[in-house]
Amino acid sequence: MCGIALLASGIRIDLSSLHIDSISPSSKTHLGFSFNDLKAALQRRGPDSLGTKKLLLLHSNNSNSGNSWVSSVNEEAHVLENGSNLSESFAELVFLGATLQLRGVTPVIQPLVDSSGNILVYNGELFGGIEVGSDNNDTEILMQSLGKCCSQEHRTTYNFNGHGKGSVPDVLSVIKGPWAIIYWQESSKTLWFGRDAFGRRSLLVHWPTMEDPRFLLSSVSPTSSSLQDFEVENGTSGIKFWEELSCGIYTMSLDATKSDGKFLGEMQKHEWTNVMLKELIEWERVSIEPKPEELNFSRSKTLSAELDMTSASLGPTHASVSVLAQNVLTALRESMMRRVSLHSIYQAVKFGARQKETVPVAVLFSGGLDSMILAALLDECLDPDYEIDLLNVSFDGESAPDRISAKAGIKELRRVAPLRRWRLVHIDADLSKLTWETKHVLSLINPADTYMDLNIGIALWLAARGEGWICEESSNRIDEDKHVNYTSRARILLVGSGADEQCAGYGRHRTKYKHESWLGLHEEMKLDMQRIWKRNLGRDDRCIADHGKEARFPFLDEDVIRTLLDIPLWEVADLDQPSGKGDKKILRERAIQFGSRIARESNRKNFGSNRAANQASAGSVVINVPSYFS
């Protein structure tokens, strides 16, 4: 995980093509953070290195060449705090990059600048689409690919395959994996920025206003200033300075006016050029409404699988699993392998020989279906020499439903994979004693501002910190009565995001199905996937990355999404069946592959200790900050 940012000053920006008014009286709060505040927030995300480059654009009238302007790249010098005092003949773009290095064998410091004057800050992973060698860093490989691109006006029309001269959208459209990017293309004097089609990496934007005319991009809102800038209007909080940048690829094309020499920046949003990616974004399923005979056949197969699961005479490898469920399992296994292969974990090779004590990957673990499947798949894909941390947060000690299911889950994992050393990290917390932490997380979830966002954010932040206790181990035996303080050092955290959205795991899916049948269910799931960037992933990225950890989402792999969309909806979920059975049906059938009791234990998991509050929509209430801390 990295932290990236841009501060652009001295540019009159035209946002008309994005349907955003940049100069109207703003309802946005002025957020008075300093440049050092921003650097500190980014470096929490990228603790391995922090770099800054300043691009200075100078306008000059040349009698021979007419109106012209030049650019120069410098190390960090003086950075204007609000851009208001910059000379009209100058424009300034400051790029910041803080790096958590997880790829390659040599250190990389962002921003990267190539021989042509192009500048890149990147927060993401190349899991496919562009080839990355086992010893290469993907940010450097991406810089090389972008450096070969022609400008938009000279774009060639063919499918980019990682070689030759395509356009910047061609390159970004073929990437498989999460990303957010800020890239200066010197040849066209164009700033490119954006985030992947599902928003798996955070990128916040501040559009210019009368109060603050700068154009700003950042992975996170600076921590130290956010709380003091909450406004309270009609009992609600009102940080309006930042907003989540919508998924997509954007440009700001710069030019200097002939009349007054001011720099103009024209904003534009570009289309994805990868047809297969467009299909995933549209999220259209092959088959939605079943014929009666198709539904009956599907249910008979499910019943047969359940009989196998409960049969004591059959081991997990003999259980009946449909071809469709097997396809999902294969896609997920490949997704996991891409995310945990050792050549892609920089820390594992950084100090030479592999160290057994290193825990490179951990799982956010509730003991529920999604996290159990992730843990079992991780065991299959990760070198057996390594231990696996299972991170479990509880606000109610050992009696919390998630803690009970997690303890049951780790027992089953130890039975299925006895050669692996599993650690259940018990992370206990008391909300009444987390005043500083709560204020800090409030700044991280910004611009999200509901109690549900805060509650989820605190849980994710505590899990990513990894501070808790484990049961003492001696002679390969676990002593449940002896607790040892422990902090997980894993830099990669596996998260089950996307499973509920794609497999009808939410209560609202059941409600929609009840009222509008299969088509209504499909539209609700489609809506969830198309807004997951705004409701979940940006917030989750910011809370987890604050500890210098990277969240990876195996269920949101492009190939997994494609595989699930190719499956008829009634094979993915059957909401005529009871809760814990018909929801996420395809995943429950897959769980049989890892052992019959894994499926049973995951079915026992309570839907959460806040279920009653969620049913009452209490979580969607906007936070009243002063009363919250009074």
Same domain, 509 and 392: yes
Q: Domain containing 98 — which CATH number?
A: 3.60.20
pLDDT at 184: 96
Which residues are paired to 67 by β-bridges? 61
Backbone angles phi, psi at 480, to 5 degrees: -65, -20
The number of domains in the chain is: 2
d(CA 103, CA 495): 20
Same domain, 517 and 393: yes
Reduce the DSSP state of residue 469 to 3 states and report it: strand
Same domain, 259 and 389: no
Name the stretches of the chain with pLDDT < 50.
23-26, 63, 65-67, 77-81, 83-86, 153-164, 225-238, 312-320, 347-356, 595-618
Same domain, 258 and 400: no
Residues 6 or more apart whose Cβ sits within 8 Å of residue 575: 504, 509, 510, 513, 514, 521, 582, 583
Same domain, 379 and 262: no
Burial class (CB in 10 A: 0-12, 13-18, 19+), 614: middle
Q: Which of 145, 152, 99 is nearest to 122 (CA)?
A: 99
pLDDT at 305: 67
Domain boundary among 519, 539, 562: 562
Same domain, 251 and 130: yes
Kindly state the tokens that stand for 266.
């024209």
Q: Domain containing 552 — which CATH number?
A: 3.40.50.620
Same domain, 69 and 200: yes
**Distances from the Cα of 309 to the Cαs of 13, 223, 304, 315, 447, in angstroms?**
62, 50, 9, 8, 45
Looking at the domain assignment, is residue 627 inside a domain? no
d(CA 550, CA 544): 7
Same domain, 55 and 165: yes
pLDDT at 349: 42
d(CA 381, CA 626): 48
Q: How many CB atoms lie within 10 A of CB 155?
A: 16
Looking at the domain assignment, is residue 251 inside a domain? yes
Looking at the domain assignment, is residue 233 inside a domain? no
Looking at the domain assignment, is residue 287 inside a domain? no
Q: Which of 560, 426, 534 is nearest to 482 (CA)?
A: 426
Domain boundary among 562, 591, 623: 562
Looking at the domain assignment, is residue 625 inside a domain? no
Which domain range does residue 385 map to?
Answer: 359-562
Same domain, 403 and 264: no
Strands of the sheet with 66-75, listed across from one edge: 66-75, 49-62, 90-99, 3-9, 215-218, 204-206, 243-244
Contact 71, 55 (CB under 8 A): yes
Same domain, 268 and 368: no
pLDDT at 360: 86
